[in-house]
Amino acid sequence: AQTVTQSQPEMSVQEAETVTLSCTYDTSESDYYLFWYKQPPSRQMILVIRQEAYKQQNATENRFSVNFQKAAKSFSLKISDSQLGDAAMYFCAYRSYNNDMRFGAGTRLTVKP
């Protein structure tokens, strides 16, 4: 079974600075997808960014980018120019070929003004 590990329960960043959230996963599959979801206090899960395992190029969405290291099974999220609205729980997720999505335990990000 696939597992997703987020080793940082909490992180904080100064507004306008850059922060990196870590994620590792365990799988025997070669074809899969990785995601970062954001969950603000409203608890609505919002997709931040996605990465296809077959693509070597790291995904980027505006201020959000990933560092995908397939051999190391690592998938970190970098948030640049952090904003107060970025404060939330961030979940790393793995979606297997059979479409079952697994989540990590989450990282709570605090943005300091």
Partner 1 sequence: DTGVSQDPRHKITKRGQNVTFRCDPISEHNRLYWYRQTLGQGPEFLTYFQNEAQLEKSRLLSNRFSAERPKGSFSTLEIQRTEQGDSAMYLCASSLPRGLGATNEKLFFGSGTQLSVL
Summarize as ranges the residues that interact with partner 1 (CB under 8 A).
4, 6, 33, 35, 37, 42-47, 50, 52, 91, 93, 95, 97-106
Q: Which CB atom, from 11 or from 45, has the smaller least distance to partner 1?
A: 45
In three-state secondary structure terms, 65 is strand
Of 16 and 97, CB closest to partner 1: 97
For residue 17, the minimal CB distance to partner 1 (Å) is 25
**Around 12, how many Cα atoms within 13 Å sit in the side-chain half-sphere?**
4
Distance (Å, whole) CA 97 – CA 100: 8
- What is d(CA 113, CA 111) in angstroms, rounded to the nearest whole number? 7
Q: Which is nearer to partner 1, 4 or 21 (CB)?
A: 4
